[in-house]
Amino acid sequence: MTVWGDIKKALAGVQALQSGGLPSIDELLAIHILYDKAAADGMASTATTDALVWMNPFSFPVYLVAAEAVATGAGITASDTDFATLTFRTRDGVGGASAAALTIITNLAGGNWTQNQRKAITSLTKANAAVPVGGQVTFSIAKTGSGVVVPVSKFVLKAYRAES
């Protein structure tokens, strides 16, 4: 076990002595990455290609584990014909291709987006979740059929420090 692992284990022991309802040690030490989609798509067919969200400034890699979205400008009605695929991707920071880590689709399986209500982004590709030192997280939107306008939205990505 590493020093970081030892620290987490020790803190977990302290936490166990406390009364219930406390967040886990990982939750306490989580890194939250905020992203604002400041404008609605110009048209239903408008796509976005790898817009930079965050660069890892730490001296250790982090792993994306979850995300949430809140459509603040309007809602989105789910459709299996015309929909958007929103993807947070990781990049190695040295010119490598991006890899899809977190994805949500505005089809019927993904469900409607209600204005100002949290929407979990639960489709995680663990093999692509690592953001190395100097690596980046980007955001893209692909459209299917005629697409759908993705409104002004806020996103919160949760990441954990990798043990080294």
Least confident of 5-19, 22-36, 37-51, 76-90: 5-19
Continuous segment of H or E residues that includes residue 137 = strand 136-144
pLDDT at 10: 62
127, part of any domain: yes
pLDDT of residue 117: 97
Q: What is the DSSP string of 73-132?
A: S--B---SSSEEEEEEEEE-SSSPPPEEEEEEE-STTT--B-TT-EEEE-EE-GGG-EE-
pLDDT category of residue 21 using cuts at 50, 70 and 90: low
Q: Which of 21-35, 84-98, 102-116, 137-151 has the lowest average pLDDT? A: 21-35
Span of 17-26, 82-91, 106-115 with lowest mean pLDDT: 17-26
For the segment 67-77, what is each residue's pLDDT rounded down to a tens digit? Answer: 999 999 899 99
- Whether residue 108 is contained in a domain is answered as yes
Is pLDDT above 70 for 51? yes
123, part of any domain: yes
Asked whether the predicted pLDDT for residue 1 surpasses 70, the reply is: no
Q: Which two tokens stand for residue 66?
A: 């979850």
pLDDT reported for residue 155? 98
Residue 75: predicted pLDDT = 95
Q: How far apart are the first and last CA of the chain?
A: 9
Q: What are phi and psi of 89, to 5 degrees?
A: -115, 155
Q: Has residue 151 been placed in a domain?
A: yes
Mean pLDDT confidence for 58-62: 93
Confirm whether 13 is domain-assigned: no
Q: In the chain, how many domains are there? A: 1
* Domain region containing 117: 30-161
- Dist. CA 104–CA 112, nearest whole Å: 11
* pLDDT exceeds 70 at position 24: no
Q: Is residue 97 part of a domain?
A: yes
Question: Both tokens of residue 93?
Answer: 């920071």
For residue 101, give the CATH number of its domain. 2.60.120
Within a domain: 56: yes
